Amino acid sequence: MIAFNVPPYVGKEMDYMKQAVENRKICGDGPFTKKCNAWLEENFHAQKALLTTSGTTALDMAMLLCDLKPGDEVILPSYTFSSTATAAVLAGARLVFVDIRPDTMNIDETKIEEAITPKTKVIIAMHYAGVACEMDTIMDIARRHGLMVVEDAAQGVMSSYKGKPLGTIGDFGCYSFHETKNYSMGEGGALIINNPAYNERAEILREKGTNRSKFFRGQVDKYTWVDFGDSYLPSELNAAYLYAQLEMADQINQDRLNSWNRYNQAFQSLKQAGKAELPTIPEGCVHNAHMYYLKCKNLQERTALISYLKEQGVLAVFHYVPLHSAPAGLKFGRFHGEDRYTTAESERLVRLPLYYKLDAKDQDKVIESVLKFYAEV
């Protein structure tokens, strides 16, 4: 069976984890965490990066830093992972879902403004498949209405929009280093802070409500409890694992892009014949090959394709069931406007195997199987 995902492993991970063990420093914020933070700050020109225990907790931190009051509203797409929404709910917000664009599956920036009410505080832009949302428009709307912008860039590490790395455009950016993402530490993530006014509060929030970070820098002479907080520091073992992959980020990215481009070439014939739709990468967006997907005619055809591929030994999978129709979505939010694309497009999408070092022969088999399926329909 050709796997859908194989977590990246580049070779130096064990070495670095051994170093962390021998340093006798395996709790958070040791040398490897600092190296990862610095790598993100340098390579993405980020004002501040803080490793977290997951992409979800990076989103939790971002939403808590937005300082929401009960009844405040957060605008987000419904076609996303539960983490995007549940972070806003935990911070006390009501969810307002808006429709997506069918070309990128990202939030439709032209539908955001009409969903704004006096209670709106935050817009969450989730960059699906590592392809950027229309950030110029989103930032312009946010600035005109005094709203915060949180980028859920869990899938967008190494992608950019008009030259700016995803995660560094809004007020906060959130990355995931889960094993299903392009760079992995098993479970982990990072919060990118683009406005220095939030640095201190973020450090306190991440360190159980204490000013421990300031204390270690010698900026205060007492270490004490100063505000509410939580524990968002990953272990050094995980950070060491990640650092090996960040050092190889360009190679991993290029390898994934090669596989992505190979799929895209191979399926041009399906596109031209009007049999399937392929991903769109808008002008100004540089993506990271997080995902390759096809869009079938409808749900029935997608179900048939997935089971055909399974018979051929290929694991292909569908993606999000829209959150607004999920039990928690109904409880915590509402959909503003018409669901023209969210449900319909989500039912057509199928993701193909794509991971670092996907074998060319395996990929050929995936391609052949897809083409064979479409030759028969």
Ligand X SMILES: *Cc1c(COP(=O)(O)O)cnc(C)c1O
User: What value, to the nearest 5°, has the Cα angle with vertex 234 and ends 317 and 61?
Assistant: 80
Q: Cα–Cα distance between 123 and 61 in angstroms, integer?
A: 15
Which range of residues in 7-15, 48-56, 192-200, 307-315 is near ligand X by CB under 6 A? 48-56
Among positions 73, 152, 277, 347, the unique one binding ligand X when judged by CB under 6 A? 152
107 forms part of the interface with ligand X (CB under 6 A): no
Count of chain residues binding ligand X (CB under 6 A): 14
Measure Cα distances from 356 to 251, 278, 347, 372 in Å: 9, 21, 27, 25
| 275/351 with CB nearer ligand X | 351
Which of positions 119-138 make contact with ligand X (CB under 6 A)?
126
| 175/198 with CB nearer ligand X | 175
Question: In the complex, what is the shortest distance from the CB of residue 220 to ligand X, in angstroms, rounded to a whole number?
Answer: 32
Q: Cα–Cα distance between 310 and 294 in angstroms, integer?
A: 16
83 forms part of the interface with ligand X (CB under 6 A): yes
| 212/279 with CB nearer ligand X | 279
81 forms part of the interface with ligand X (CB under 6 A): yes
Among positions 8, 28, 55, 170, the unique one binding ligand X when judged by CB under 6 A? 55
Task: Name the nearest CA neighbour of 174 among 189, 195, 160.
Answer: 189
Q: Cα–Cα distance between 104 and 86 in angstroms, integer?
A: 23
Q: Cα–Cα distance between 153 and 185 in angstroms, integer?
A: 16
178 forms part of the interface with ligand X (CB under 6 A): yes
| 175/267 with CB nearer ligand X | 175
- For the range 211-218, what are the long-range contacts, defined as Cβ-Cβ under 8 Å and sequence gap of 24 or more? 213/29
Measure Cα distances from 84 to 6, 60, 206, 318 in Å: 24, 9, 19, 19
349 forms part of the interface with ligand X (CB under 6 A): no
Helix (H, G, I), strand (E, B) or coil at 94: strand
Question: In the complex, what is the shortest distance from the CB of residue 154 to ligand X, in angstroms, rounded to a whole number?
Answer: 3
Question: In the complex, what is the shortest distance from the CB of residue 176 to ligand X, in angstroms, rounded to a whole number?
Answer: 3
By the 8 A CB rule, do 151 and 171 touch?
no
184 forms part of the interface with ligand X (CB under 6 A): no
155 forms part of the interface with ligand X (CB under 6 A): yes
Site residues (CB under 6 A) for ligand X?
A: 54-56, 80-81, 83-84, 126, 152, 154-155, 176, 178, 189
